[in-house]
């Protein structure tokens, strides 16, 4: 039995799943207006493991969504994952956040572009074909009417940054999958299991989230 705890905190969705041999058994998630990761994450981990009917010591690995996404959210998720791996002596697996959004979209043709909100008109993006093969590297880009104009055929967009494309990109070229707003740990299960089977893991001591952009703190108010 391969039991993997999957942690996804890159966006507003605080999401945890426990999978057995690549199949999601328990999923706990909450996507509120604010970021509730610090309050929810460890509770969700305890509940998900308990409801699966196993103990933390039964886990074979921990998988974490590596970004891009919220700086604070990623730090919380990666810190929790590292702590568990250290304590249990098990490997850490990193999963691309944008691929999780892409895999929530099922289409027969065209390309899938997941977008994570990066404030203003900017989004973190990548391009996948309908079999989830990556066609373009992850990058932060400002969405304009010229975005993705080199891509032929239908473009399927999803994620909390996808709304920025509506009314900007040419009508008829995009299909907005508005039901797919955030990445979910439910879609991590098969990916983390596949990585576990080939020992595709990361160094627990040195792994850092894929922030893509430097963290910029808010300016202090004059007092």
Q: Are 49 and 5 in contact (CB under 8 A)?
A: yes
Element housing 76 (H / E): helix 71-88
C-alpha 19/C-alpha 21 separation (Å) is 6
Q: Are 161 and 118 in contact (CB under 8 A)?
A: yes
Q: Would the pTM of this model clear 0.85, i.e. be above it?
A: yes
C-alpha 35/C-alpha 32 separation (Å) is 7
Instruction: Provide the residue-wise pLDDT of the chain in tens; the chain has 223 residues.
Output: 999 999 999 999 999 999 999 999 999 999 987 778 888 999 999 999 999 999 999 999 999 999 999 999 999 999 999 999 999 999 999 999 999 999 999 999 999 999 999 988 899 999 999 999 999 999 999 999 999 999 988 999 999 999 999 889 888 889 999 999 999 999 999 999 999 999 999 999 999 999 876 544 444 433 3
Identify the CA nearest to 6 among candidates 132, 92, 74, 124. Answer: 92
Q: Are 135 and 92 in contact (CB under 8 A)?
A: no
C-alpha 115/C-alpha 108 separation (Å) is 20
């Amino acid at each position: 039995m391969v039991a993997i705890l999957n942690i996804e905190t890159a966006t507003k969705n605080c999401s945890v799943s426990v999978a057995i041999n690549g199949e999601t058994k328990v999923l706990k998630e909450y996507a509120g207006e604010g970021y509730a990761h610090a309050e929810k994450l460890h509770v969700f981990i305890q509940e998900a493991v308990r409801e699966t009917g196993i103990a933390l010591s039964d886990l074979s690995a921990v998988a974490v969504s590596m970004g891009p996404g919220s700086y604070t959210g990623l730090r919380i998720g990666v810190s929790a994952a590292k702590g568990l791996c250290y304590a249990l002596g098990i490997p850490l697996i990193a999963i691309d956040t944008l691929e999780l959004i892409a895999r929530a979209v099922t289409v027969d043709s065209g390309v899938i572009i997941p977008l994570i909100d990066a404030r203003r008109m900017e989004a973190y993006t990548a391009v996948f074909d309908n079999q989830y093969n990556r066609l373009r590297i992850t990058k932060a880009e400002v969405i304009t009417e010229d975005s993705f104009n080199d891509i032929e055929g239908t473009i399927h967009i999803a994620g909390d940054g996808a709304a920025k494309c509506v009314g900007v990109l040419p009508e008829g070229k995009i299909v907005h999958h508005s039901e797919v707003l955030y990445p979910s740990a439910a879609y991590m299960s098969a990916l983390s299991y596949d990585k576990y089977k080939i020992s595709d893991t990361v160094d627990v001591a040195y792994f850092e989230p894929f922030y893509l952009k430097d963290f910029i703190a808010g300016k202090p108010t004059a007092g």
